[in-house]
Amino acid sequence: MTRSPRTIAAANGIGRDAAFGAVAPPLHLASSYTFAGFERPRTYDYSRAGNPTRDLLADTLAQLEGGAGAVVVATGMAAVDLVLSRLGPQDGVVAPHDCYGGTHRLIAARAAKGQFKAAFVDQGDAAALEAALAARPKLVLVETPSNPLMRVVDIAAVAAAAKAAGADVAVDNTFLSPALQQPLALGADFVVHSTTKYLNGHSDVVGGAVIAARSEDAAALAAWANITGVTGAPFDAYQTLRGLRTLFPRIERQQQSAAAVASFLARHPQVAAVHYPGLPSHAGHALAKAQQRGFGAMLSFEIAGGTPAVRRFVEAVRVFTLAESLGGIESLVAHPATMTHVGMGAEARRIAGITDALLRLSIGLEDERDLVEDLAQALGQAEEAGDR
Ligand code: PLP
């Protein structure tokens, strides 16, 4: 019987405990497992290689993304790195010029060591992508919507162009989760997640996952994750699975509030620009509508008044919290230039269009009226502090 993604998220693995009939899947913390006898290993022997709790999370994620298998690792960065581990010194990766700062830093650092060749490209610019693909890279990494500018990339178009050039495509689906976007169905070969964000959703676990379209790729990645020892901790997998149960209702509610916040900001005189794909004025609106099942709960905006206004705004918020990360039940504000994207360096930020006036919001589950009221009062204070 095929089950809907909502059912998979809410109930995969429920009531299947063979030992005691526990309804909630048990947490298996053991680091090693007995052999049944000489040369008779059981399903599991050592938790770095395989663990029932982590495997249940991997199975749930693979089903939600429509993949053949998944590997759960310690962090989102480890997930990005696991996909990059497929590349050798002669291979190339085409990455987005405005991706998450940590991804940019990782790719630049490994390329500088000669571990592969990297090109950072505006993937919304078809000519630039075509030029990068002419070098026959092995992998194209897509992040859509991008962090923090919320640019939307056409996954199906990039996948078709990449396939024609002999490249695999990996999509970082952290910003939307499989509840709102399924890149494998659009032609991607891999999906990458920072499960730290919407999948866990409660800001109390750092984790990552790679989901592969093909079972042989999933097996190869699982083997490499065991060799390098980046597999995720069982307790983290347990917590993440617990958070995942409510993924759909959380993100659906959060994106409703995000839409309200975006339309409030778009009308505010202290706001120079709003980046939210749900706004009809957003350059990626039509594409987002076509390839996503919702516009998500992340947005960014440019505040007028320079650094004094930025400083006053982040000091004035009361319902929002000044912190990195995203996708949790609480609303956060981050200043990418000094926080999430500081590792990219000023020049790469300039090329990507990440200005010092940009603020990123992750919308949580608070009442949207409180969120809008908080932004209104903080913008009012920023206006008084701003450059004139
Ligand atoms: N990918 C995206 C889009 C992110 O926003 C982040 C973190 O913010 C990561 C990957 C890295 O994930 P982690 O912090 O879990 O290592």
The 10s digit of each residue's pLDDT in 329-347 is 999 999 999 999 998 889 9
Active-site choice (172, 189, 236, 374): 172
In this prediction, residue 343 carries a pLDDT of: 84
Pairing type for strands 208-212 and 69-73 reads: antiparallel
The answer, yes or no, to whether residue 240 has pLDDT greater than 80, is yes
List the one residue out of 254, 281, 202 whose CA is nearest residue 361. 254
Domains and CATH numbers, the chain: 5-244 (3.40.640.10), 248-387 (3.90.1150.10)
Ligand 1, pocket residues at CB < 6 Å: 75-77, 80, 100, 102-103, 143, 147, 172, 174-175, 194, 196, 206, 208
Instruction: Determine the Cα–Cα distance for residues 179 and 296; give it in Å rounded to an integer.
Output: 10
Q: For residue range 38-92, what is the model confidence (pLDDT) as tens digits?
A: 999 999 999 999 999 999 999 999 999 999 999 999 999 999 999 999 999 999 9
**Cβ-count burial of 347 within 10 angstroms (0-12 exposed, 13-18 middle, 19+ buried)?**
exposed
Q: Which atom of ligand 1 is nearest to the CA of 324?
A: 8
How much distance in Å is there from the Cα of 194 to the middle of ligand 1?
5
Q: Which residue has the tokens 């998944």?
A: 70
Residue 388 — pLDDT band, cuts 50, 70, 90? low
Per-residue pLDDT, averaged over 241-260, amounts to 98
pLDDT for 352 equals 87
36 CA from centroid of ligand 1 (Å): 40
The pLDDT of 254-260, averaged and rounded, is 98
> How high is the pLDDT of residue 387?
66
Please write the tens of the pLDDT for every residue from 185-210: 999 999 999 999 999 999 999 999 99
Catalytic-role residue among 54, 81, 98, 100: 100
- Note if the pTM is more than 0.85: yes
Query: Is residue 44 annotated as part of the catalytic site, yes or no?
Result: no
Q: What pLDDT is attached to residue 124? A: 87
Active site annotation includes 198: no
For the stretch 10-43, what's the b/e string if a residue is b when 16 or more beta carbons lie within 10 angstroms of its beta carbon? bebbeeeeeeeeeeebeebeeeebeeeeeeeeee
Give the rounded percent of residues in the chain with a pLDDT score beyond 70.
Answer: 99
Torsional class of 282: left (φ above 0), alpha (ψ -120 to 50), beta (otherwise): beta
Given a cut of 90, whether residue 109 has pLDDT beyond it is: yes
Among 44, 48, 245, 370, the active-site one is: 48
Q: What is the pLDDT of residues 301-331, one digit of tens each?
A: 999 999 999 999 999 999 999 999 999 999 9
pLDDT at 265: 98
Phi and psi at residue 77, to the nearest 5°: -65, -40
Distance of CA 237 to the CA centre of its chain: 17
